[in-house]
Chains A and B, each alone.
Chain A
Amino acid sequence: MSSTVVEQRRLSPPFTARNSKLLIVFVGYVVATIWSWRYIHMSFAGLFGGFSDVAALIARMLPPDFYQLSGIISATIETLWMALLGTTIAVLISFPLSFGAAKNTTPNKFVFALCRGIITMTRAIPDLIFAAIFVRAFGIGPLAGILALGLHSIGMIGKMFADALENADAMPREASISTGASKWQAIFASILPQATPTMIGTSLYRLDINVRASAVLGLVGAGGIGFIIQSALRSLDYPSALAAVSVIFVVILAIEFFSSKVRASILGERSASVVVVRSQSERSIRRTGRDRTLLVDAVTMRSLVPPLTSDRKSRIISVWVYAIMLGIALGTINMPIFSSFGYFDDAWRIVTQLVPPDFTTARSELITGMSETLAIAFISTTLGLFIAIPLGLLSSRNIVIRKMVFVGTRSMLVVFRGIPELIIAVLFVSAMGLGPVPGTLALTLVTAFFMSKLIADTFEEVDPSPREAIFATGATRMQELFGSVLPQAMPALVSQILYMLDVNLRSSTVLGIVGGGGIGFLLLGSIRVFEFGTTGAVVFSIFVVVYAIELVGSWVRGVLDKAN
Chain B
Amino acid sequence: MSLNRFDQEADPIVRLSDISKRFPNGTLALDKVSLEIPRGQLLCLIGLSGSGKSTLLRHVNGLHKPTSGSVDVMGMRVSEAANKDLREVRRHVGFVFQQFGLINRATCLENVLSGALGRLNWPRYGVRSYPKQLRRLAFDHLDRVGLADQAFQRADTLSGGQMQRVAIARSLMQEPQMLLADEPVASLDPESSGQVLELLLKIATEENMTVICTLHQVELALGWAHRIVGLRAGKVVLDRSAIGLDQRDVMDVYQRVDVTEAPTADEDVPTSILNS
Q: What is the interface of chain A, defined by CB distance below 8 A to chain B?
A: 169, 171-172, 174-182, 184-190, 192-194, 196-197, 295-296, 298-299, 302, 304-307
Contacts and interface: CB of A to CB of B under 8 A. Distances in A.
17 contacts: A171-B101, A172-B102, A175-B102, A176-B101, A177-B63, A178-B90, A179-B115, A179-B118, A180-B87, A180-B88, A181-B87, A182-B117, A189-B124, A193-B103, A295-B152, A302-B139, A304-B135
Contacts of B170: 175, 179
B99 A171 contact: yes
A194 B105 contact: yes
B124 A188 contact: yes
Nearest to A309: B152
9 tightest A-B CB contacts, nearest first: A180-B118, A175-B101, A180-B91, A188-B123, A181-B117, A178-B95, A180-B90, A304-B135, A171-B101
B97 A171 contact: yes
Contacts of A299: 148-152
A190 B152 contact: no
Given A189-B114, A306-B127, A295 B136 contact: no
A171 B97 CA distance: 9
Contact of B132 (A182, A295, A304): A304
A172 B117 contact: no
Contacts of A169: 104
A181 B99 contact: no
B103 A189 contact: yes
B107 interface: yes
Given A194-B105, A295-B153, A302-B139, A175 B117 contact: no
B120 interface: yes
Interface of B: 61, 63, 87-95, 97, 99-107, 109, 114-120, 122-125, 127-128, 132, 135-136, 139, 148-153, 167, 170-171, 173-174
B124 to A, nearest CB: 6
Contacts of B127: 304-306
A189 B128 CA distance: 13
A197 B151 CA distance: 21
A184 B103 CA distance: 16
Nearest to A291: B152
A298 B103 contact: no
A306 B115 contact: no
A190 B102 CA distance: 8
A174 B97 CA distance: 10
A177 B95 CA distance: 10
A173 to B, nearest CB: 8
Nearest to A168: B103
Nearest to B87: A180
A185 B120 contact: yes
A194 B88 CA distance: 27
A189 B107 CA distance: 12
A288 to B, nearest CB: 13
A183 to B, nearest CB: 8
Contacts of A174: 63, 97, 101
Contacts of A185: 117, 120, 122-124
A251 B44 CA distance: 66
Contacts of A188: 123-125
Contacts of B150: 299
A306 B92 CA distance: 28
Contacts of B167: 175
Contacts of B106: 193
Contacts of B109: 306
Contacts of B87: 180-182
Nearest to B61: A178
A54 B191 CA distance: 74
Given A189-B123, A194-B105, A299-B148, A181 B136 contact: no
Contacts of B117: 176, 179-182, 185-186, 189
Contact of B95 (A175, A186, A302, A305): A175
B151 A179 contact: no
Nearest to A311: B154
Nearest to A197: B105
B133 to A, nearest CB: 9
A525 B119 CA distance: 61
Nearest to A176: B114
Nearest to B173: A179
Contacts of A184: 123
Given A178-B93, A179-B91, 9 more contacts: A176-B101, A178-B61, A180-B89, A185-B117, A185-B120, A188-B125, A189-B117, A306-B127, A306-B128
A270 to B, nearest CB: 12
A192 B93 CA distance: 24
B99 to A, nearest CB: 5
Contacts of B94: 178-179
Nearest to A304: B135
A38 B200 CA distance: 78
Q: Counting chain B CB atoms within 10 Å of each CB, which of A181, A192, A298, A302 scores highest?
A: A181
A307 B92 CA distance: 32
Contacts of A182: 87, 117, 123
A306 B152 contact: yes
Contact of B114 (A171, A179, A196, A197): A179
B90 A193 contact: no
Nearest to B139: A302
Nearest to A169: B104
A296 to B, nearest CB: 8
B196 to A, nearest CB: 16
A176 B97 CA distance: 11
B124 A179 contact: no
